[in-house]
Amino acid sequence: MRTPNFTRIALTAVLMALGMVPSSALANDCDRSDPTNGVTGGNYCIAVETVTTNPGAPLVVVLHGDMSSGKPPSYATRFAKRITERNPDITIVSMLRPGYDNGDGKKSQGSTNGRRDHYTGVNVDAVGDAIRNLAAHHKAPRTIVVGHSGGAATAALIAGRQPEVLDGMVLISCPCDITRWRLERNGSAWPSSLSPSDYVDQVRPDLQITAVTGRNDDNTQPGLAKSYVAEIRERGGIANFLEIPGERHFLSTKLADQVLPMISEMVDSPRRSR
């Protein structure tokens, strides 16, 4: 005979599969987990891979791209480990955006919508909340996000929608204007997605921003990030853009070699008053 507890667990599993479990219950489950593995973000439990922890030190969060190939975004964790090699005294976390898994048992709640048109307010705000909660847990005096492709768009949207969360961001291959990006790719529109270009007025002027794109990137062409940086600078913001010759969209070793010193410089920058 099945016990009531077994029945409850079985029913919960079915309801989760159908998306019928109350979001608050899912978030509470995450609250009881180890924050080095998962952290609450909005109504989701956001999975993280913690590379190193140093309480009271700056926090760097790496956000992966869309991975339209369907593969897990494991490259982001490899890149996070390279950041650690240059900055061993900080806290570094690779975060899985809503609906993504690492191919090894960790998965964030939420939906990727088939890995397209998913820069929604719900997803962006969940990641922002998760980063805020991680920073509070680790007592981080500064929080920097390093985002690639869709992760860069997510970071830039957080900067506009939750400006108090970030102290700096490094945007790699950013589709910073979603409408323009889709047109340049001759792709279908992403009507559910928010665009960083629509939030430049809400970005804090003291936020440190570095944007980098490969000159040969035919996915997120350099003009997307360059124009975003120009708009930030026109509003008195602290932003720089760098175009890397010979590099494409993928976060290659060469592109990473160019970006790593920029991250270290941002980590070492003194905290600015808000």
User: In the chain, what are the domains?
Assistant: 23-268 (3.40.50.1820)
pTM value is 0.89
Tokens 């980063």 belong to 131
Rg (CA), the chain: 19
Q: Each residue of 185-204: pLDDT tens digit?
A: 999 999 999 999 999 999 99
pLDDT of residue 14: 39
pLDDT of residue 272: 55
Q: Provide CB contacts within 8 A for 46, sequence distance 6+.
A: 30, 38, 39, 40, 95, 96, 98, 108, 109, 126, 127, 130
Residues of the chain with pLDDT under 50: 1-28, 273-274
Q: Each residue of 13-70: pLDDT tens digit?
A: 433 444 444 433 444 457 555 688 999 999 999 999 999 999 999 999 999 999 989 9
pLDDT of residue 35: 83
pLDDT of residue 6: 37
